[in-house]
Structures are given as C-alpha cells and as structure tokens.
Amino acid sequence: MTAENAKRQRPHRLRRLELSFVRSPIYFVTICTDRRRSILATATIHESFVRFAKEGPAHGAWIGAYVLMPDHLHGFVAYDDEKISLAVSRRNL
C-alpha cells in the first residue's frame, strides 16, 4: 500500500459490542435538539435538567458528569435495568 492510498482509507473503527457483561454499564450519550436549534443554554433549562437528574435515582437512573451546550447535551448515564429501559429513559428527555 502506498502512502497516498493509506491517506484515502478510513481508519478502522471498533465494532459495537453485541453483549455487555456489566450489570449496569455507564453510557456516554449525546442528545441533540430538533433541527439543532440553540435552545438549551439557558439558566431555566439548566435548572430543569439538574432537577430531572436529582430525581433520577428514585426511578432507577443516574446522570453523572454532563456538558449542556446550546443545541446538544453530552453526559454519562447509568440505569437499573430492572426498573427502567434505555428506550423509556430517552422518552422522558
């Protein structure tokens, strides 16, 4: 393989895990607003998110470190699979 061909090829990415051997893994999630509208970077939204995160453990969800940007959110999330599914928790956001 020539150096020019190596530059054109994409780097290999890791495959998605088919199985998880951890009972309650921690997920890194990114959530974007509809049409990437800049509506999240306000004190009111931040206060609502913090309140939502504090109520999470009572429902089987824990939110760790997060970054709230104008049009998206990055955060670490763990949940108790006996109390909640990831699909249900996404609906609540």
Q: What is the pLDDT of residues 23-82, one digit of tens each?
A: 778 999 999 999 999 999 999 999 999 999 999 999 889 999 999 999 999 999 998 877
Asked if 28 and 79 touch (Cβ cutoff 8 Å), the reply is: no
CA nearest 77: which of 38, 39, 26? 26
Looking at residue 36, the DSSP 8-state letter turns out to be G
pTM given for the model: 0.66
Strands (E), the chain: 26-32, 61-68, 72-79
Reported as a pLDDT band with limits 50, 70 and 90, residue 84 is: low
